[in-house]
Amino acid sequence: MTEAEILHIYNHNEVRQLARTRFPDCWEDILQDLAIILHTVDLSLSCDELKRYACRVLINMSAAKRGKVAQRYKHLEPLPENIELPDQPGEQLPTIEDVTRGLHWFHEGVFRLYLKHGTIEKVSRITGIPQRTVSGSVKIAQKKIKAQW
């Protein structure tokens, strides 16, 4: 496909209007993605067929919920207006002491090390405790914390 054909489709009013209606927040980026797709596809179509193909690609891009376009631009979707925030103003989140209160001293210590270092392997390497024991202790602490909070 030649650059002139791609440019013609890129600047075509119907294609631009479809991109604006399907992707109001990022339609210019979508048109550039469409141009890249058209550049990589080797088709010998007439002008009208090429326009229909471009529109079909745009419709498929907007309909696919798990496609590359949806993943790339999902952060641009507007949030619902009636979001309820879980935390009330002035309400403090629990501290680590509040959360780990009631745990056995061993599970609490291992869990704190796990929170600090991030992985079971690191905690095992630092303390010399076997990974399986560290993993079990972290799971016990997580279950109790989930049940409590």
- For 56-86, what is each residue's pLDDT tens digit? 888 888 877 777 777 777 666 555 666 665 6
How confident is the model at residue 74, as a pLDDT? Answer: 65
Side-chain half-sphere exposure of 25, counting CA atoms within 13 A: 10
Confidence of residue 124 (pLDDT cuts 50, 70, 90): very high
Distance between CA atoms of residues 146 and 99, nearest Å: 9
Whether residue 23 is contained in a domain is answered as: yes
Domain that holds residue 118: 96-148
- For the cut 60, the answer to whether the pLDDT of residue 41 exceeds it is yes
72 and 103 share one domain: no
The one-letter amino acid at 132: R
Token pair, residue 18, equals 């479809």
107 and 52 share one domain: no
- For 81-117, what is each residue's pLDDT tens digit? 666 656 555 666 777 788 888 889 999 999 999 999 9
Whether residue 124 is contained in a domain is answered as: yes
Number of domains, the chain: 2
Distance between CA atoms of residues 108 and 106, nearest Å: 5
Whether residue 116 is contained in a domain is answered as: yes
Neighbours of 100 (CB within 10 A): 20
How confident is the model at residue 113, as a pLDDT? Answer: 92
How confident is the model at residue 56, as a pLDDT? Answer: 87
Q: How far is CA 8 from the centre of its chain?
A: 34
How confident is the model at residue 129, as a pLDDT? Answer: 92
10 and 46 share one domain: yes
In what helix (H) or strand (E) does residue 70 lie, and over which residues does it extend? helix 68-73
CB 124 within 8 A of CB 131: yes
Q: Residue with structure tokens 């914390």?
A: 145
Whether residue 83 is contained in a domain is answered as: no
End residue of a domain, out of 47, 76, 105: 76
118 and 71 share one domain: no
Distance between CA atoms of residues 87 and 97, nearest Å: 19
135 and 70 share one domain: no
Whether residue 108 is contained in a domain is answered as: yes
Whether residue 46 is contained in a domain is answered as: yes
Whether residue 109 is contained in a domain is answered as: yes
72 and 11 share one domain: yes
The percent of residues in the chain predicted with pLDDT above 90, rounded, is 21
